[in-house]
Structure 1
């Protein structure tokens, strides 16, 4: 595997999606490549932030309900003798009790779980899309220093028509201002992709294919239809 190939594995490595041989080769490469090490850290941080948004706290009564349910679950009868031994070992009494208790817990807290699922479905989808983006063979990573302090990192894929922006340590703005994200096409027309804070990870779905640069500007609160220049940073993506 050549060095350029190894540089392209940062996203797959961050997702633990490499084969054993690829992982060993990449980790050997990682020891001497500061750029890849920084990129892996940033991608893992981005994935962590998106996962944190999906995480749901269980209801306070859930543990008590599960423990009460376990005591009421009857042991299943022996498996039929025609069932292979591997299957009988895999589904032990302890496993059955655990699954039964989990089923009871879901039934008890079903209404809450469904509501939480609905509230978090969009974020879960974004996390799945982010994973697909990192694993895309054409995913590319670019970064640039932001005027006034901080750094912007962009991972983009034309095939996925998606990108993720990771912002670090940007200077705080007064309440009358906000940061705005832009994708710039080959005609140098800037297309807004939303507002953001000082330390944010933002997934962009759609409108990425064919764009040649990413821009970040400081705008009045609520954003602007066109970027206010000079930009805080413009990073070439082509």
Structure 2
């Protein structure tokens, strides 16, 4: 397949990079690509540009962008007019590349906005699920709320339901710790045995399932990153639950 028999094949580099070619045109272009050094180079450049555009966009595009792009595609000429004094192929390649970069930018922005929307949906769903779990504990008939201060600053609130064997721990305004330290949460039973129920690097609202019924105190300690098997004393907070 040559330039003489397929004069428009060079204009397919952009749609090929964006995976916008139907199967028959993709097969035709890939056969041409094996013989054309210019198109091979242009495909590589456009792929690099598309990746950079996708990673450098920092704000989501307006919701109507995709509709505008899809609508405008029908009005874009496949081939530009021939300009006097310039070879037709050179003009086609120069103008075609500029149009393709614009299309690549729009496609990257649309793809990125889709990823942002998915992430936002997941974050919102997780937050809603957490709120429902907290509300379920607070609604228990035996739910009891206790408060305590944290050494060095901050507040701890624990809502306990022995009936549901769940508790809600709320930590606020915690002092900042060194990079190699973390907060560790404990539930202490009547035999004074501490059971680890999680780690925190900052403010936290956490639902604890199990390790609640029969517990007499909640403790908060500062531990090495990754936590400890037993609490390091003295504790930053010790709140009596019973």
**Are positions 1:129 and 2:133 aligned together?**
yes
Report the Cα offset of residue 200 of structure 1. 1.8
The answer for the alignment partner of 2:202 in structure 1 is 198
Report the Cα offset of residue 110 of structure 1. 11
The answer for the alignment partner of 1:157 in structure 2 is 161
Aligned pairs for 1:8-23 (under 5 A) are: none
State the alpha-carbon separation in 2 of the partners of residues 60 and 206 from structure 1. 45
State the alpha-carbon separation in 1 of the partners of residues 211 and 175 from structure 2. 28
State the alpha-carbon separation in 1 of the partners of residues 118 and 170 from structure 2. 31
**Are positions 1:209 and 2:213 aligned together?**
yes
Q: CA offsets per residue over residues 35-92 of structure 1, 9 Å max, x none?
A: xxxxxxxxxxxxxxxxxxxxxxxx85656789xxxxxxxxxxxxxxxxxxxxxxxxxx
Report the Cα offset of residue 115 of structure 1. 7.8
**Are positions 1:232 and 2:239 aligned together?**
no
Q: CA offsets per residue over residues 82-134 of structure 1, 9 Å max, x none?
A: xxxxxxxxxxxxxxxxxxxxxxxxxxx99998887667655543321211111
Distance 1:171 1:160, change over 3 A: same
The answer for the alignment partner of 2:142 in structure 1 is 138
State the alpha-carbon separation in 1 of the partners of residues 141 and 61 from structure 2. 43
1:178 pairs, out of 164, 175, 182, with: 182
Q: CA offsets per residue over residues 149-185 of structure 1, 9 Å max, x none?
A: 1111111111221111111222111001111000111
Structure 1: runs of 5+ lacking an equivalent: 1-58, 67-108
Q: CA offsets per residue over residues 15-47 of structure 1, 9 Å max, x none?
A: xxxxxxxxxxxxxxxxxxxxxxxxxxxxxxxxx
The answer for the alignment partner of 2:193 in structure 1 is 189
Structure 2: runs of 5+ lacking an equivalent: 1-59, 68-112
| SS at structure 1 position matched to 2:215 | coil
State the alpha-carbon separation in 2 of the partners of residues 177 and 139 from structure 1. 32
Distance 1:113 1:190, change over 3 A: same
**RMSD, aligned CA:** 2.9
Count of residues in Structure 1 that have an aligned counterpart in Structure 2: 140
State the alpha-carbon separation in 2 of the partners of residues 206 and 171 from structure 1. 28
